[in-house]
Amino acid sequence: MHLTREEERMLSGELGEPVARALDVIVKVGEALGAERLIPISHAHVSGASYLTIGEPGLLFVKSLADQGARVRVFSTLNPVGVDLANPGVLDVDRGFWEKQKMVVESFLRMGFQESMTCTPYLLRKPRPGEHLSWGESSAVALANTYYGAHSNREGGPLALMSALTGRTYEAGMHLEENRLPRAQVLLDRGIDMGDEGMAGAVGYLVGEKLGSTVPLISTRGPPPFDAIRAYTAAAGASGGIAMSVIEGVTPGWRRLVEKAGPLERVWVEEREVRDLVPGEEVLEDVDLAFLGCPHASLEELEDLARVLEECGGLREGLSFWVSTSRHVYGIAREMGIVAKLEERGVRVIRDTCPIVSPATRGRFRRIATVSGKSFFYLPRLQEAPSVIVPYSLLKRLVCAKR
């Protein structure tokens, strides 16, 4: 691999041991993927910040870098953690976990990370088309490539951390246009409404299962709304390894990418398959937790939920409702009075974390209803929590006192 003078200096240890170690890892990963050089990045986003998912090995890995004086060299943000740091009482988490989680966060902050604790870094700093990023968090990566037209691989959490410390990533995969061309065309049955977050998430789940890690071309009748695109890309990145989709009318430069790709293999997503994942009202009887905010809820989602609950007289008896969002969006929603409205109606608004990466979820619920295809994939796997995807339209029916 060809390295610049500055990169050679980094590797030699002139800029400190952590930088040398970080660059060494990036070079090794890049060589495995056939990269010929490194490229500068403008934003690193690290996944693996919850003590629940990285455990003691992850804590020691991160802490040892901070102890050696590692510092970020670019704008760097942090994924959700396992607790609400701003409001400790909102989730029931034991003290031992708290202490460990605080050590993880403190290590990242010492290195100069933003106190973001969110899986939606694009809402903090909007990626520009063609810009190079080194992001972990599969849902954010897929949105950066698909919606913003920026370039990022699905970097493992540690690699994104190494990029934060060096300001570099390797030039391979999604950083090269030839790998951004669609390789299969996904055709959707007429009855599938990509405008509904729940349905879009179910489609993402199926596309991830069917296509693994290809770049799919998605043709829809009119561009889906932003939050539905987020639901789709998040689910496809969980059930599969999809780093990018080309969505007609949405992805920057989609016409050029489709033209360059030439004829494509066709893959159908049938309405029946979506229906199997997204059941009707009959299975909602034993749902005792409804959940919105995977990826972290946007301001529009919070506003919409507050309006729905206002119209329908609040939550029905016996149902808990958790919403998770970033402290950034929370701050804006609080100013607008939306947080107060949600809390008055019995909704628990959580910052910095979510039910997937927090220990507060496990063993507490009979069945969780989520609009998120990504949560549907992880809740049973990480929290042993039976869960069901509901269409956004049905979620409203499910949660209201007056139906």
Partner 1 sequence: MAREYRLRHVAGPPPPTGEEAGLVVTPRPISFLGEVDPREGILKRPGETQSLGGRIVVFPQSRGSTVGSYVIYALSFYKNAPLAMVVEKAEPLLITGCVIGGIPLLVFEEKPDYGELGRCGRAVILADGGVYKMVCGQG
Residues that bind partner 1 (CB under 8 A): 25, 28-29, 32-33, 47-48, 53-58, 60-61, 136-138, 141, 153-160, 173, 208, 212-213, 237-241, 377-378, 381-382
Rounded least distance, CB 82 to partner 1, Å: 12
User: Measuring CA to CA, which residue among 144, 184, 182 is closest to residue 44?
Assistant: 144
Q: Which residue is it, tokens 């088309």?
A: 129
- CB 154, min distance to partner 1, A: 6
CB 396 within 8 A of CB 312: yes
Report yes or no: 134 and 25 within 8 Å, Cβ to Cβ. Answer: no
Q: How far apart are CA 51 and CA 353, in angstroms?
A: 11
| Separation of alpha carbons 198 and 104, rounded Å | 33
Shortest Å distance, C-beta 77 to partner 1: 14
Of residues 209 and 271, the one with the C-beta less far from partner 1:
209
Q: Is 213 exposed, middle or buried (0-12, 13-18, 19+ CB in 10 A)?
A: middle
Q: Which is nearer to partner 1, 96 or 222 (CB)?
A: 96
b/e per residue 283-308 (b: at least 16 CB within 10 A)? ebeebebbbbbbbbbbbebbbbbbeb
Rounded to whole angstroms, the Cα distance separating 373 from 238 reads: 8
- Residue with the two structure tokens 């990466």: 357
Shortest separation between residue 331's beta carbon and partner 1, angstroms: 26
Q: How far apart are CA 366 and CA 387, in angstroms?
A: 9
Provide, rounded to whole angstroms, the least separation between the CB of residue 140 and partner 1: 9
Cβ atoms of 164 and 77 closer than 8 Å: no
- Residue with smaller CB distance to partner 1, 267 or 308: 267
- In angstroms, give the least distance from the CB of 238 to partner 1: 5
- Pick 170 or 321: Cβ nearer partner 1: 170
- The residue (of 150 and 398) whose beta carbon lies closer to partner 1 is 150
CB of 193 to partner 1, least distance (A): 26
- End-to-end CA distance of the chain, in Å? 63
**Residue nearer to partner 1 on the CB measure, 243 or 339:** 243
Supply the minimum distance, in Å, between the C-beta of residue 21 and partner 1: 10
Q: How far is the C-alpha of 388 from the C-alpha of 240, rounded, in Å?
A: 19
- By beta-carbon proximity to partner 1, the closer residue of 349 and 357 is 357
Q: How far apart are alpha carbons 372 and 357 in whole angstroms?
A: 15
User: How many CB atoms within 10 Å of residue 174?
Assistant: 22
Question: What are φ and ψ of residue 149, in 5° steps?
Answer: 70, 15
Cβ 276 to partner 1 shortest distance, Å: 16
CA distance 345 to 223: 33
Question: What's the min distance (Å) between Cβ of 221 and partner 1?
Answer: 29
Residue whose CB is less far from partner 1, 254 or 378: 378
Alpha helices in 212-267 (DSSP H): 226-239, 254-261
Measured from the CB atom, the residue of 196 and 352 that comes closer to partner 1 is 352
CA distances from 110 to 114, 138, 221 (A): 10, 25, 48
Residue whose CB is less far from partner 1, 153 or 353: 153
Looking at beta carbons only, is 50 or 298 nearer to partner 1?
Answer: 50
Smallest separation, CB 241 to partner 1 (Å) = 4
The kind and range of the H/E element at 291 are strand 289-297
